[in-house]
Amino acid sequence: TAALLALICGSLSKFALDITLMMQTEVGEVSEPHDEGRGGSSTMPQKRNPVASEYILAATRAVHALVPVMLGSMIADHERASGPWQSEALALPQCVALTAGALAQARSIAEAMTVDTERMRRNLELTGGLIMAEAVATALVAAIGRAAADAAVARACDRSIAEGVPLATVLRIDPEVRPHLSDAEIDRLTSPALYLGSAGAFVDRVVARVAALG
């Protein structure tokens, strides 16, 4: 039971840590639900701290620390152990309470967090399309082979960085790439919105399972 609760908290803490990182001013892609006074600072009134995520992370650390206590209770002396099993009564209720709290906080975030899609798009565009280099190289493999495709795209990336121009611009004038990719293909390959893979299917699967729980 304690190990299961620790696994649940581990999954919740991954979610919470991502929310915390994405709430940073420099990223600003999502934020926890905000009410007046929530997550504020005594010295910096503009701050909105990820208080729910912080609780989840703190609870997870505590639950993970209690699991060894539960495992240690397996090592018992004779028929009635002198201490090991008694420690279960101290550790397990804390695991249950902390996990319940973490789940409640995670639900509060999921139900009302703010997502800034425009900020996400701006962040994706910071590299001028370099984030999509893998997609371009993969598309070239059929025409020129893996090694040549990787080398050609690497050189295009180097030029994009050195000249401070978008990767798509370099690809359109690159003598190794241009014969194999049209303008429309380059636009498609350098668009992050068209490179989501199976993410949509995974999200739909999770939403359907949650809805079935009712």
Residues serving a catalytic function are 41, 80
Closest C-alpha among 66, 126, 73, 124 to residue 99: 66
Is the pLDDT at 128 greater than 90, yes or no? yes
Angle at 21 between CA 15 and CA 22, to 5 degrees: 85
pLDDT, one tens digit per residue, over 78-120 is 887 787 888 999 999 999 999 999 999 999 999 999 999 999 9
What values do phi and psi take at 154, rounded to 5?
Answer: -60, -45
Q: Note the pLDDT of residue 41.
A: 62
Rounded to the nearest 10 degrees, what angle do helices 51-72 and 88-112 cross at?
150
The model carries a pTM of: 0.80
| Domains along the sequence of the chain with CATH | 2-115 (1.20.200.10), 127-194 (1.10.40.30)
Task: Give per-residue pLDDT as tens, 177-208.
Answer: 999 999 999 999 999 988 888 999 999 999 99
Mean pLDDT to the nearest integer, 164-168: 96
